[in-house]
Amino acid sequence: MTVTVPCPFCSTLNRVDLDRVDDTPRCGQCSRPILLDRPLAVTDATFEQVIGASEVPVVVDFYADWCGPCKVMAPVLDQVAHDRQGEVLVLKLDTDRNPVTAGQFNVRSIPTLIVFERGREVARESGAMPRGHLDALLARATS
Ligand SMILES: [Zn+2]
C-alpha cells in the first residue's frame, strides 16, 4: 500500500510505501523525515492528488484556527494518526487558507470530517466527536 503526501517542510509530494513507514521515509527533495504518525496538512494545491493516490482510507479534518470545537477535535485526530499509522491517512485542511477545496466539498460548518476511499467520499460528519465515533466513521470505508 502506498500514499502520496506533501512534505511538511517543503510541500513536495512524495510517494511513501506504508510497509516501510517504520524506516522513517524521507522527502526526495529536502531529505527531511516524513512522519505519518500525525495529521498532515493539505492545501488547495495538493488535496486532489493526495486523496486520489491514497491506497488506504483517508480522513480529512476541515478546520480553522479560530474554531473552538476544532481545537477539541485536534488531539483525537492526533491519536488516530498515531495509533493507526500505515492503516489510515489523517489529513487536515485549513478552510480559511484553502477556500477552493472547502467550497468544492460544500463544507459549511467546522470541524467537518470527511472520509475518502480511493478518491471517493464515503462518509462525513460535522462537529467535534469522541475517538470511538471517529473510528466508526472510518469503518465505513471498506478497505
Ligand atoms: Zn521536503
CA angle (27, 59, 2) in 5-degree steps: 40
pLDDT above 90 coverage of the chain, percent:
94
d(CA 34, CA 6): 8
3-state secondary structure of 70: helix
Rounded to the nearest angstrom, the distance between the alpha carbon of 93 and the centre of ligand 1 is 19
Q: What pLDDT, on the 0 to 100 scale, is given for residue 143? A: 57
Write the CB contacts of 136 (distance below 8 Å, at least 6 apart in sequence): none
Q: What pLDDT, on the 0 to 100 scale, is given for residue 68? A: 97
Rounded to the nearest angstrom, the distance between the alpha carbon of 34 and the centre of ligand 1 is 8
Residue 111 corresponds to which cell in the numbers above?
470541524
Known catalytic residue at 70 = yes
Q: What pLDDT, on the 0 to 100 scale, is given for residue 108? A: 94
d(CA 14, CA 38): 16
Rounded to the nearest angstrom, the distance between the alpha carbon of 123 and the centre of ligand 1 is 31
Closest listed residue to residue 128, CA positions, set 60, 76, 59:
76
Rounded to the nearest angstrom, the distance between the alpha carbon of 134 and the centre of ligand 1 is 30
Rounded to the nearest angstrom, the distance between the alpha carbon of 109 and the centre of ligand 1 is 32
The pTM (predicted TM-score) of the whole model is 0.95
> What digits encode the pLDDT tens for the residues 59-111?
999 999 999 999 999 999 999 999 999 999 999 999 999 999 999 999 999 99
Q: DSSP characters for 80-126?
A: HHHHTBTTBEEEEEETTT-HHHHHHTT--SSSEEEEEETTEEEEEEE
pLDDT above 70 coverage of the chain, percent:
99
Residues comprising the chain, all counted: 143
User: What pairs with residue 41 in β-bridges?
Assistant: 92
